Structure 1
Amino acid sequence: MIRDILVNLAQGVEKDSACEFAASLAAYFGAHMTGLSIAYEIDVPPFYMGALPTDFIDAQMTENQAAADKATARFKEIAAAAGVTFDARSLSASLGVAAGSFAHMARLYDLTVVAQPNPDLPGPEEVIAETVLMESGRAVLMVPYVQKAPFAVDRVVVAWDGGRASARALAESLPLLHRAKTVEVLRVVQAHAETADEEGPEVVRHLARHNLEAVVRTLPVGSGESVSSAILNEIADRGADLVVMGGYGHSRLRELVLGGVTRDILGSMTVPVLMAH
């Protein structure tokens, strides 16, 4: 069961979609919600310190603290309106230290909720999201920055590639799958594969042991076709409420340089995605 939820609080936005979604999720499960607001410190290399006036650094820190306080106040309003128990925590640190601390915190929560990075508003979200995914050892629920609908799991798509990360994501998603009306196991395979796909039916068998009914849908892709595009198209066509998938099955450096399914999904997701690494 999901009883303990952690959410990173957004700053510099009018609407904190991840926080609102987390509140609806907490209300659905009767869970406690913890919000973390971060007053980001300016991480200035020592050889630049003399070039920045002290009053500039002080003013920036005051502004960052005010943004964190505003995020905390909004969190309390959202949680109270949702009727859930909550507590607010704060942290003052550089982005790198804050991301590591947040990932450490997440290890003792059932689910951590973060916002999808908004490409039009560069901020700390990408570092926070990737660090907690890679280092927490727990599932992370990514919420689109344009998310409007509250938590729902009528239709869940499990993108299964047979890898370690997929296995962890599937295991962590079980409390959510038990609330779903429809579970689809999505297999993206090579169009000219010579053997029948056995992975999908095995996932269905495993879920049946948990009293969960699931169906398999296999999507063949040709050489050079995008796996992430196939997944995103399936999500849209099926009207999925939630996607479950592994995150960074390849190294994060490889995906950063060459691209990859995880980064493509994070950049173009239209529904919440539960990931684990």
Structure 2
Amino acid sequence: MIRDILVNLAQGVERDAAAEYAASLAVEFGAHLTGLSVAYEIDVPPFYMGALPTDFIDAQVLENQSSAEKAAARLEDIAKSAGVPHQIRTLSASLGVAANSFAHMARLFDLTVVAQPDPDKPGPEEVLAETVLLESGRGVLIVPYIQEKPFSAERAVVAWDGGRASARALAEALPLLHRTKVVEVFRVVSDGADAADEEGQDVARHLARHNLDAQIRRLPVKSGDSISAAILNEVSDQGADLVVMGGYSHSRLREMVLGGVTRDILSSMTVPVLMAH
């Protein structure tokens, strides 16, 4: 069960979609909600220090502290309106230290919620999401920055590739899947692969023993076709409101250089995605 939820609090936004979604999750599961609000420190290389006026650095520090206080106050309002027990933790640190601290915190929460990076508003979300996904050892629920609906999992798509990360994501997602009406196990397979998908049936058997009736769908793709596009198209076609998948099955460096499914999904997702590594 989900009894303890952690969410990173967004700054410089009119509304915090991830915090609102996390609060709706807390309502659904009767969980406690903890928000982390970071006052980001100015991380200036020593050789630049002399070039930056002291007044500028001081003003930036005060602005960052003010942003963190506003983010905390916003969660206070959200949690009180939702009627969920909550706590706000604060931290003053550079982005790198904050991301590592957030990942360490997440190890003792049932679920961590973060916002999808907004390409039009560069911020710390991408670093935080990737670090907590890679380092926490727990499931991470990434909420689209355009998300407006509260938690709902009428239809869930489980993107299963048989790997370790997929297995971890499926295990972490079980409490959420028990709130669904339809679960689809979506298998992207090589074009020409044997039509008898024993592994897909094994996933369905495993879920059935958790009292979950899963449908199996296979999509053959040709070499070079986009797996992430296939997943996103399936989510759209099925009207799914939750995706479950492994994150960074390949090394993060390889995905950064060559691209990969995880990074493509993070940049293009339109519904919440639960990932684990």
What's the TM-score, normalizing by structure 2?
0.99
Identify the residue that residue 115 of structure 1 maps to in structure 2.
Answer: 115
Percent identical among aligned pairs is 77
Partner of 2:22: 22
Report the 3-state secondary structure (helix = DSSP H, G, I; strand = E; otherwise coil) of the residue aligned with 1:114: strand
The 3-state SS of whatever aligns with 1:240 is coil
Residue identity in the other structure for 1:244: V
Q: CA deviation at 1:19?
A: 0.5
Q: Which amino acid aligns with 1:163?
A: G
Residue correspondence of structure 1 range 27-46 to structure 2 within 5 A: 27-46=27-46
Deviations 1:173-195 (A, max 9, x none): 11111111111000001112246
Q: Output the amino acid matched with 1:255.
A: E
The corresponding residue for 1:52 is 52
1:167-178 → structure 2 map (5 Å cutoff): 167-178=167-178
Residue 227 of structure 1 and its aligned partner are, at CA, apart by: 0.4
Q: Which residue of 2 aligns with 1:249?
A: 249
Q: Which residue of 2 aligns with 1:85?
A: 85
| SS of alignment partner, residue 207 of structure 1 | helix
| Higher deviation after alignment, 204-213 or 245-254 | 204-213
- Equivalent position of 2:130 in the other structure: 130
| Structure 2 residue 270 is matched with structure 1 residue 273 | no
The C-alpha deviation readout for 1:218-255, integer Å capped at 9, x for no partner, is 01111221000000000000010100000000000000
Higher mean Cα deviation, 212-221 or 60-69?
212-221
Number of equivalences:
277
Alignment TM-score, normalising by the size of structure 1: 0.99
Query: What's the counterpart of residue 160 of structure 1?
Result: 160
- Give unpaired runs (5+ residues) of structure 2: none
> Which residues of 2 match residues 151-230 of structure 1 at below 5 A?
151-194=151-194, 196-230=196-230
Q: Distance in 2 between matches of 1:127 and 1:196?
A: 40
Shift of 1:211: 1.5
Q: Distance in 2 between matches of 1:47 and 1:99?
A: 24
Q: Which residue type is aligned with residue 263 of structure 1?
A: R
Using the TM superposition, give the Cα deviation of residue 197 of structure 1 relative to its aligned residue in structure 2, in angstroms.
Answer: 2.2
Tell me the CA shift for residue 81 of structure 1: 0.5
| TM superposition outliers: structure 1 runs of 4+ over 4 Å | none
Mark the runs of 5 or more structure 1 residues left unpaired by the alignment. none
Write the distance in 2 (CA, Å) between the matches of 1:248 and 1:199.
21
Q: For residue 233 of structure 1, what is the aligned residue in structure 2?
A: 233
- Which AA in structure 2 matches 1:225? D
SS at match of 2:50: helix
> Do residues 140 (structure 1) and 140 (structure 2) align?
yes
